[in-house]
Structure 1
């Protein structure tokens, strides 16, 4: 676990147990860690904690013409400002001033200092995050900022766009922008920042909510016709930009899950998932064909095929050990899974894949045993967790939406997107 701003965190006044934690941001598709390892600001999970010194900002003076004061605000590296270019002849500059009651955290693709959480495009299939140099990223360098109240109830609010190294946000002529009813300016970023708040909290009763777009000033809008359209959606004045436990943030290339500190206190932990794994293995499930005992590998060995690895026919859910009919070698397992196989127990034909435990505890909606697997990837979790994520249509590319496994971000298939696993107990 990595705490943003760990070097300047103040302890909670109510206790001496450590810093005040606002919440965590979890990158979907990484299953607990990046393939290359969690390093510095590039991680699969980020803890946002109260800083020793507040660094929040709030809007103050608005310059509607190119005055010397406006130019000074933009060039002053100690002054936060947002510039809205309306035409070559007119730019509106909004100065931002220090806010001692809030902390600001910034998320984006850039590795420059103002970015607290460096996020690159997530590749489906559990490969974590791609090398930003090799992939043409659709994630903004300065994608969004989250402003947290330093005092209870520690509300966290999200805004599109982040301040660069010069403490500026520049919105060019092509950005969708407008003047609000009260004379202020607002805008949307190129590919936008989308947010979805689940209904009924983040629990076993959770239901997917509506995806909305968040503006630079934190207003809420219905989605644009296309991700980068210059025509904004309809403003939803009944909703706000405050993040809730389980809120999803999509940056057009990576999706983050926000978990509040209160929500995480009730969520399962890695220690709990490990106990469930050991309990599952203690039942000594057997392959109904080879009669060999199966065992889920340790959470640290996720992705490394083991001799005792459980495999499943995802059409029916029957769990087996790996068997290569016709003398297939173990190395050809991937090809066999992709083609689909016929279950020797019930003759159902479909994907035949190794099973992997979902290792990111923050993605679970309950703490029940792992009994179901996502189709077609084979990531295993609790029934209610599988049900919830199978009903959440995640943004894909610039226009599509479809349910995906939260552990590897692969698109779900089949009637429900998941299957109940059927384990064979030992015969002795």
Structure 2
């Protein structure tokens, strides 16, 4: 048995509860830059490394949930090849009357999807074991069949409302991901997950229909939306079109509103196959899918710390107070330090903190400041280094910051995320900072930082 620590790799999912297989380490080999609770150790049972299908990263948490990553409730999860396949595939279709429904659904050893067409008629599709695939389930439920517990993300809260699951718009069994166990390890997403009775139940009011080949399909209440980037996520990506994924994995145009009963039009030339940079929206939280080859181009925590030290070694100074500025350690994220650099987000001039320059602009918030360097008026916020490496497109120098939150990353990363509209509510879309979820403002949504070097 080999215990390998990694800031990117989490415990490989298995038939055991992830809460039992994910062990925290507090050994002296852990990096002092990040609290031990933020280290995700990869317990490798075999002599060779397991196959990693990819990683899911929840947008808005910057590397860790507010109360720490615990078991299956975390901000990032890697999907590994299971010791034994647990995938399922459609097998037998039954057209039955209501008295037989309860009997068909009570077989907890049989996966099935039931479509209620009327009070007296249901269609039940039985699923059989598939030795060629692994299945991972995502949802709000904390039951053992859910591999990744996801709760609502609130902008600027860093997950402060993650416990308010009773008011959540995320389904208890939101979706399932099916990974082929053999190369090229194709990964596909499907709406809805199986419950404790191994059933997916689409009630009488759910959107459902017969397909052209006589089979059944349907949508979940608030839907599972997917957007695949074009051009390659690590190369020169541009946003794709948001689509809805059905229970059977078919691709549809968006409904008029998120929970409308009328489905969108079938998009035949697109698929439910995830690619590097695919976004998955569960109506309350948005997940980013990263593939192993894409993750190799992103910075590790060690590299981000090195970049932080390089910026501090340049001894940037406040152009007014002439005091030396320093980005706080990654472990001190969201805790303002007295040496913290601050920025005027409308112009990019970096200063130390000062409590003057307030301007009350017409229609403004009353908290805007006038930059002493260029006299432009706008928000004045502390700068934070983006700590979740999986959200980066490259390991470039952190030279740009999102507006108005002040999260710093590479230029390529800032440009990409500023162009991606993420779902909000039932039919609205807004570009947002991937590190905290704040809606972006200004002409571009980001600003190039202007530092002043030491005068001595």
TM-score, structure 1 length as denominator? 0.94
Deviations for 1:365-418, whole angstroms, at most 9, x for unmatched residues?
111110011011000011111110000000011110010000001100111111
SS of 2:73 mapped into structure 1: coil
SS of 1:2 mapped into structure 2: coil
CA RMSD of aligned residues (A): 2.2
Tell me, yes or no, if structure 1 residue 386 matches structure 2 residue 414. yes
Cα separation, 2, equivalents of 1:326 and 1:263: 44
Aligned to 1:119: 150
Partners of 2:298 and 2:390 within 8 A in 1:
yes
* Deviation of the 1:16 alpha carbon: 4.4
Cα separation, 2, equivalents of 1:242 and 1:132: 31
How many residue pairs are counted as aligned between the two chains?
A: 419
The match for 2:380 among 333, 338, 352 is 352
Aligned to 2:189: 158
Deviations for 1:112-159, whole angstroms, at most 9, x for unmatched residues?
111000000001015225233376111000000000011111111000
Cα separation, 2, equivalents of 1:102 and 1:116: 15
5 Å-filtered alignment, 1:161-240, equals 161-240=192-271
SS of 2:453 mapped into structure 1: coil
- Closer, same or farther: CA 337–271 of 1 in aligned 2, 3 Å: farther
Deviations for 1:73-115, whole angstroms, at most 9, x for unmatched residues?
4111110000000111111000000001000000000001110
Deviations for 1:243-287, whole angstroms, at most 9, x for unmatched residues?
000000000000000001121122221111111111111100000
5 Å-filtered alignment, 1:203-352, equals 203-325=234-356, 339-352=367-380
- Closer, same or farther: CA 338–63 of 1 in aligned 2, 3 Å: farther
- Closer, same or farther: CA 248–215 of 1 in aligned 2, 3 Å: same
Tell me, yes or no, if structure 1 residue 409 matches structure 2 residue 437. yes
Deviations for 1:190-240, whole angstroms, at most 9, x for unmatched residues?
000000000111114111100000000000000000000001001011011
Q: Following TM superposition, where does structure 1 have runs of at least 4 consecutive aligned residues deviating by more than 4 angstroms?
A: 6-12, 67-72
Gaps of 5+ in 1: 328-335
Q: Structure 1 stretch 44-53 or stretch 2-11: which is displaced more?
A: 2-11
The match for 1:39 among 62, 70, 81 is 70
- Closer, same or farther: CA 145–129 of 1 in aligned 2, 3 Å: farther
Q: Structure 1 stretch 131-140 or stretch 155-164: which is displaced more?
A: 131-140
- Closer, same or farther: CA 234–39 of 1 in aligned 2, 3 Å: same
Cα separation, 2, equivalents of 1:41 and 1:408: 21
TM-score, structure 2 length as denominator? 0.88
* Deviation of the 1:6 alpha carbon: 4.9
The match for 2:87 among 56, 62, 75 is 56
Q: Structure 1 stretch 2-11 or stretch 230-239: which is displaced more?
A: 2-11
